[in-house]
């Protein structure tokens, strides 16, 4: 009789342990939804510098995602956060987040036959987005391109594109020497990004530009 009771107790204990393991393996619904989006996994922290943007920041996996923010990348074994559960998606101990409505620049460069145009490719640009330009050493805006002063469209790959031709002598001189910092501004969301530097290519020996006319086509 005693042996039968012990067997029954043992069965209940094993059943309870199995139930707990199943519960712990469940990933919250919010994290499952985020994993289906186009989110990058970041493993190289040397190139990660959130100080370059006043909007992007890092949160640890035990912290909730703030309202109005979205995950743009998960960090694996990030040294600035505890490396124990709970993890994002059961794996990542940190996440890179940014406010919803923030324009994102994927690449930018010089273009047009004289290389005094700038092209910008990215995502989440509002229809009336505009471009602010600063020098590499100052905080003052030296040029703003909006409306008919810039061309904006969506390319065949579904990416947002803005192109513009630099107007002032100051902008052109800085562009040809030290380069210019560019921001795409979403006026409705009141967000901007990302402050990268774009520089005009050096002229070749025969006086012509090194690079061919830009693609996408500049105005």
Please check whether residue 17 lies inside any domain of the structure.
no
Please check whether residue 59 lies inside any domain of the structure.
yes
Confirm whether pTM is higher than 0.85: no
Q: What share of the chain is helix, strand, coil (3-state, %, to 5)?
A: 20, 35, 45
Give the closest residue to 123 by CA, choosing from 107, 105, 98, 145: 105
Which of 64, 99, 134 is a domain's end point?
A: 99
Which of 83, 99, 115 is a domain's end point?
A: 99
Together in a domain, 88 and 53: yes
Contact 193, 108 (CB under 8 A): no
Together in a domain, 111 and 193: yes
Please check whether residue 203 lies inside any domain of the structure.
no
Please check whether residue 64 lies inside any domain of the structure.
yes
Please check whether residue 54 lies inside any domain of the structure.
yes
Instruction: Kindly give the pairing relationship between strand 160-165 and strand 117-123.
Output: antiparallel
* Structural domains counted in the chain: 2
Please check whether residue 148 lies inside any domain of the structure.
yes
Give the closest residue to 184 by CA, choosing from 105, 92, 85, 90: 105
Which of 74, 99, 124 is a domain's end point?
A: 99
- Indicate which CATH number applies to the domain containing 130: 2.60.40
pLDDT in tens, the chain (219 residues): 555 555 555 555 555 544 444 333 322 333 333 334 457 787 777 766 665 555 678 999 999 988 878 888 899 899 999 998 999 999 999 999 888 888 989 999 998 888 899 999 998 899 999 999 999 998 999 999 999 999 999 999 899 999 999 999 999 999 999 999 999 999 988 888 888 899 998 765 445 544 444 444 444
Together in a domain, 120 and 85: no
- Which two three-digit tokens encode residue 159? 């990416």
Please check whether residue 21 lies inside any domain of the structure.
no
Predicted local distance difference test score (pLDDT) of residue 25: 32
Residue-number span of the structural domain to which 115 is assigned: 104-198
Please check whether residue 16 lies inside any domain of the structure.
no
Together in a domain, 112 and 95: no
């Amino acid at each position: 009789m005693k042996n039968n009771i012990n067997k029954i107790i043992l069965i209940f204990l094993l059943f309870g342990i199995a139930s707990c393991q199943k519960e712990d393996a469940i990933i919250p619904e919010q994290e499952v939804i985020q994993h289906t989006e186009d989110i990058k996994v970041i493993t190289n922290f040397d190139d990660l510098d959130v100080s370059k943007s006043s909007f992007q920041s890092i949160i640890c996996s035990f912290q909730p995602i703030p309202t109005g923010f979205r995950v743009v990348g998960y960090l694996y074994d990030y040294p600035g956060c505890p490396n124990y559960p709970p993890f994002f998606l059961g794996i990542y101990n940190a996440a890179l987040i940014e406010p919803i409505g923030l324009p994102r620049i994927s690449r930018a460069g010089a273009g047009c036959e004289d290389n005094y145009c700038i092209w910008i490719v990215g995502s989440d640009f509002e229809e009336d987005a505009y471009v602010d330009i600063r020098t590499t050493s100052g905080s003052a805006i030296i040029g703003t391109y909006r409306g008919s002063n810039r061309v904006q469209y969506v390319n065949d790959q579904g990416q947002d594109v803005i192109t513009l031709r630099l107007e002032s002598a100051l902008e052109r001189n800085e562009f040809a020497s030290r380069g210019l910092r560019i921001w795409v501004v979403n006026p409705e969301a009141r967000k901007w990004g990302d402050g990268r530097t774009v520089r005009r290519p050096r002229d070749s020996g025969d006086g012509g530009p090194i690079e061919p006319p830009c693609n996408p086509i500049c105005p």
